[in-house]
């Protein structure tokens, strides 16, 4: 949210509180559907009210950040929508399909960014605590992986397999790239930062986003799992 927005700090706290409460509700299975719908609605509002206008007010963002912010919101909002629909008994396949298409559409955008800025991706890979050979190759491979997974999920062709593999891809990043950097840079209190999180906030956020995408991909896969029909009610003989 832009700093000039009235009530900026209060809005940030409210959004954070809603996310925490919604996450707890979903984990506990208590009012999971309205909680997931609230999260999906927040991401949708962020796209309409924040990200789309920023493309016009600050075109410099279109070089990369705008695409990341907008389509991360689309993908995670779609995953929240799928959670809400899976909490419905029975879930509506049409709406699950809409959520999967929205999630799938977002992934090729990240693939494009991997091909447009391969050096940036390679730098992240090269700086990983777990060494990876040929960082440029990984930049292109993961870009292609986003393309393939997104097209498969959006089209419904081998969608479940693609979502499962995409989830493993995000899981591997969380474990080998992000978590070691967060754990290796644990927050230390200093005179300049006596309160709040003192570690690398960008890396910490990236870790949580990566874990969220890991879960989102497997939610998509779970929505494609064949569900056994309810057993027929036995006939009663008078």
| pLDDT tens per residue, range 102-160 | 999 999 999 999 998 888 888 877 777 767 788 888 889 999 999 999 999 999 999 99
The CA distance from 151 to 106, in Å, is 10
Domain-located, residue 194: no
User: Which residue range(s) make up the domain with 217?
Assistant: 11-187+199-223
Domain-located, residue 57: yes
Q: Which residues contact 35 (CB under 8 A, 6 or more apart)?
A: 21, 22, 23, 25, 26
Domain-located, residue 171: yes
Domain-located, residue 73: yes
Domain-located, residue 2: no
Question: What's the sign of the alpha-carbon dihedral 179, 1, 61, 167?
Answer: positive
The CA distance from 197 to 217, in Å, is 29
Domain-located, residue 24: yes
Count of CB atoms within 10 A of residue 111's CB? 20
The per-residue pLDDT for range 42-62, each reduced to its tens digit, is: 999 999 998 999 888 888 888
pLDDT recorded at residue 158: 94
Q: How many domains are contained in the chain?
A: 1
- Chain position carrying tokens 């949210």: 1
Choice between 4 and 135, residue whose per-residue pLDDT is larger: 135
The per-residue pLDDT for range 189-213, each reduced to its tens digit, is: 565 555 556 667 788 888 999 999 9
Choice between 231 and 149, residue whose per-residue pLDDT is larger: 149
Domain-located, residue 182: yes
Q: With 70 as the cut, is the pLDDT of residue 14 above it?
A: yes
Domain-located, residue 147: yes
């Amino acid at each position: 949210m832009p700093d000039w927005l009235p009530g900026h700090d209060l809005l940030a706290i409210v959004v954070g509180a809603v996310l925490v409460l919604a996450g707890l509700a979903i984990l506990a299975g208590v009012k999971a559907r309205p909680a997931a719908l609230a999260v999906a609605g927040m991401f949708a509002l962020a796209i309409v009210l924040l990200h789309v206008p920023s493309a016009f007010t600050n075109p410099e963002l279109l070089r990369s950040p705008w695409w990341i912010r907008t389509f991360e919101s689309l993908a995670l909002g779609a995953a929240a929508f799928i959670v809400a629909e899976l909490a419905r008994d029975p879930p509506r396949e049409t709406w699950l399909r809409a959520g999967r298409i929205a999630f799938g559409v977002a992934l090729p955008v990240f693939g494009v960014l991997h091909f447009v800025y391969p050096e940036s991706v390679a730098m992240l890979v090269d700086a990983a605590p777990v060494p990876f050979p040929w960082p440029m190759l990984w930049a292109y491979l993961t870009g292609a992986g986003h393309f393939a997974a997104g097209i498969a999920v959006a089209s419904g062709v081998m969608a479940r397999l693609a979502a499962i593999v995409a989830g493993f891809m995000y899981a591997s990043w969380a474990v080998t790239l992000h978590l070691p950097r967060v754990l290796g840079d644990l927050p230390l209190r200093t005179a300049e930062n006596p309160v709040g999180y003192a570690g690398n906030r960008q890396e910490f956020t990236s870790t949580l986003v990566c874990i969220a995408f890991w879960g989102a991909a497997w939610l998509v896969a779970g929505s494609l799992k064949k569900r056994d029909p309810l057993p027929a009610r036995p006939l009663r003989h008078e």
